[in-house]
């Protein structure tokens, strides 16, 4: 089932729900993954686990067991997907790209189930021996008996946070916002002339109707955009130091980016533009959060207005919309089988 809205792809029963954008860009890997969930009967595992949670709601271990069951489901689906011929590196990058900001559904096996580190580690492991599988199979019924015999009332165990390195992405609240075209500047004719004549440093990001993203002559995936933005906004990571100039922040000299980022495109799907805008804007917020903690020892969102203005000057957004035409993509009519 193809949905016009930007939703995480997931399977429910024998149905797969996928957004129009994912269907056009990553349908092979995502649909193969979700079909694995369906063929392995994972939906019925989740239904049985929900029934167990109703009966043993007072036992904190049942919530850990439910989380682990979903993780095992993802390991199995990942295994089947890779053995169907999907490129492992691109598939792992797709998982990282998709595991940001989407809600999860209790009775659905979602492609965006975000135990990233464990899933990628499991993909790179050797196959488990049959003898060890029999040991695990023997242990599971024993674990179920222990849950029934020694369950005690108590509060639900809080879910653990997924710990990812800053190089992948920041999970700080400073780097989470929904961005739209209203957050960016429109490139004026005089500014366009100065860019063309080379008076100013700028980074041009182009999109097209086929959802291709290019910077210069290089085509890249959405997941590669944050790394590019960091090089143009974070002096510590910059390749070209000439696009930065000295300013005073909290009484100390710091290097601020003076470059512009220009987004251009024709007949661009709105879902692609929205995702690109979020990647750029939230990466800038992430860098602001980094420098806020380094300079003021406080997160960016908790800074007073005067100090926040200083960080904004140090890490400016400076994103401009050039010649860009955004279109709304409508899903094809549903087909019956």
Greater model confidence, 83 or 147: 83
Q: Which residue is listed with tokens 């002339």?
A: 193
168-196 residues labelled b (16+ CB within 10 A) or e (exposed): ebbebebbeeebeeeebeebeeebeeebe
Q: How many Å apart are CA 52 and CA 70, to the nearest integer?
A: 14
What is the tens place of the pLDDT at every residue in 17-29?
998 988 888 889 8
Residue by residue, DSSP assigns 128-151 as PPHHHHHHHHHHHHHHHHHHHHH-
User: Whats the size of the chain, residue-wise?
Assistant: 337
pLDDT for 189-215, tens place per residue? 666 655 554 556 788 888 887 778 888
Terminal CA-to-CA distance of the chain, rounded, Å?
A: 12
Q: Is the pTM of this model over 0.75?
A: no
pLDDT of amino acid 152: 55
Predicted confidence (pLDDT) at residue 113 exceeds the cutoff of 70: no
Kindly indicate the confidence band of residue 133, based on its pLDDT and cuts at 50, 70 and 90.
Answer: low
As given in the structure block, the two tokens for residue 84 are: 């169907």
């Amino acid at each position: 089932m193809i949905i016009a809205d930007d939703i995480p792809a997931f399977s429910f029963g024998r149905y797969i729900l996928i957004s129009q954008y994912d269907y056009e860009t990553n349908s092979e890997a995502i649909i193969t993954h979700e079909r694995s969930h369906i063929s392995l009967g994972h939906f019925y595992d989740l239904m049985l686990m929900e029934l167990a949670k109703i009966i043993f709601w007072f036992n904190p271990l049942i919530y850990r067991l439910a989380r682990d069951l979903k993780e095992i489901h993802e390991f199995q689906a990942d295994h089947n997907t890779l053995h169907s011929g999907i490129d492992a590196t691109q598939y792992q990058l797709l998982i990282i790209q998709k595991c940001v900001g989407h809600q999860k559904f209790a009775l659905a096996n979602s492609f965006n189930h975000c135990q990233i580190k464990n899933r990628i580690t499991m993909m790179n492991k050797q196959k488990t021996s049959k003898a060890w599988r029999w040991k695990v199979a023997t242990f599971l019924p024993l674990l179920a008996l222990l849950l029934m015999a020694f369950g005690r009332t108590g509060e639900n165990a809080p879910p653990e946070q997924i710990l990812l390195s800053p190089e992948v992405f920041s999970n700080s609240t400073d780097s989470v916002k929904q961005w739209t075209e209203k957050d960016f500047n429109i490139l004026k004719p005089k500014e366009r002339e100065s860019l063309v004549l080379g008076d100013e440093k700028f980074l041009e990001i182009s999109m097209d109707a086929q959802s291709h993203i290019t910077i210069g002559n290089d085509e890249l995936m959405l997941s590669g955009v944050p790394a590019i933005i960091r090089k143009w906004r974070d002096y510590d990571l910059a390749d070209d130091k000439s696009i930065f100039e000295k300013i005073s922040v909290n009484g100390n000299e710091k290097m601020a980016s003076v470059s512009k980022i220009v987004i251009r495109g024709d007949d661009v799907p709105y879902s692609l533009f929205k995702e690109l805008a979020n990647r750029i804007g939230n990466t800038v917020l992430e860098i602001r959060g980094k420098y806020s903690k380094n300079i003021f020892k406080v997160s960016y969102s908790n800074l007073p207005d005067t100090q926040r203005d200083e960080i904004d000057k140090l890490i400016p957004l400076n994103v401009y919309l050039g010649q860009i035409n955004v279109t709304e993509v409508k899903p094809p009519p549903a087909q019956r089988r």
